[in-house]
Amino acid sequence: MPELPEVETTRRGIAPHVEGREIVEVIVRQGRLRVPVPEDFIDRLVGSRIGNLTRRAKYLLLPIESGQPAGSLIWHLGMSGSLRIARLGELPKKHDHIDLVFDDGGLLRYHDPRRFGFVDWLAGGVEQDPRLARLGPEPLSGAFDGERLYRLSRGRRMAVKPFLMDNAVVVGVGNIYAAEALFLAGIDPRRSAGRISLERYEWLAAAVREVLAAAITQGGTTLRDFVSGTGEPGYFKQRLNVYGRHGQACRRCGGELRLVTLGQRASVFCIECQH
């Protein structure tokens, strides 16, 4: 599943090609996504112009600056979705479900083999939408720090890894990056969230920011389907310390990496380096 770095990589890749562009045609080849494409999707968009793209958690927001009524597209890539820039005349591939065609001959093409993603119309403000209203802070913002993790974890008996992956605590820290941040911070993912000190949560918050910033710089992590908005794969997979490496040697101590299941998700860690 594309996580925050992959979605941010997509936003940065497509933004220069779509911001300020007028939509002259909309092609919907398959509208039966996780959320069905709205019936008035084409009528709302043709003749409209796209504003500055933003991201909230794993959602991409495309403001529509003209057209009635004003609003935004909210796009989620699901398990296998991707948004890519193409040119008019490029034949669509299987699972290319939606094209937004622009006035300069470029187009934004949505590809999703599993159809777990969606695009919908957001009429009100971001915080009014139930999908966005209760989300925690962005992990690279000043609102996220170790003090927040410490405060919200008090009395919590759940393991720290699923706690860190809770979108009400902080958004966008999925399975890959939670595992990597916990390794950098030296914290055992099985530890009870409520039994970790403020100092160690400060280490963990710093590790989350370091891992996510590095992943964005590297263009995300290519696991199966992900490519950026310009069709390039991500390269952060080459830097993974623990995720997907169970049974292999720890890059830090040389010990064998262990695999456990936490919150129904596979978790790899080093029993020697993480406590």
The answer to whether the annotation marks 246 as part of a ligand binding site is no
237 part of the active site: no
3 part of the active site: yes
210 part of the active site: no
Which of 56, 58, 109, 258 is flagged as catalytic? Answer: 58
Helix count and strand count (H, E) for the chain: 6, 10
Q: Give the residue from 242, 267, 266, 238 showing the smallest Cα distance to 252.
A: 242
User: CA 68 → CA 48, 102, 110, 143, 275, distances in Å?
Assistant: 9, 19, 24, 35, 56
Which of 3, 8, 138, 180 is flagged as catalytic? Answer: 3
Segments in 97-197 forming alpha helices (H): 146-153, 160-164, 175-185
The answer to whether the annotation marks 95 as part of a ligand binding site is yes
Which of 2, 5, 139, 189 is flagged as catalytic? Answer: 2
Residues with Cβ < 8 Å from 190, sequence gap 6 or more? 159, 160, 161, 260, 262, 267, 269
265 part of the active site: yes
The answer to whether the annotation marks 156 as part of a ligand binding site is yes
Which of 25, 209, 265, 272 is flagged as catalytic? Answer: 265
Task: Specify binding-site residues for DNA.
Answer: 95, 114, 156
Task: Specify binding-site residues.
Answer: 95, 114, 156
Which residues form the catalytic set?
A: 2-3, 58, 265
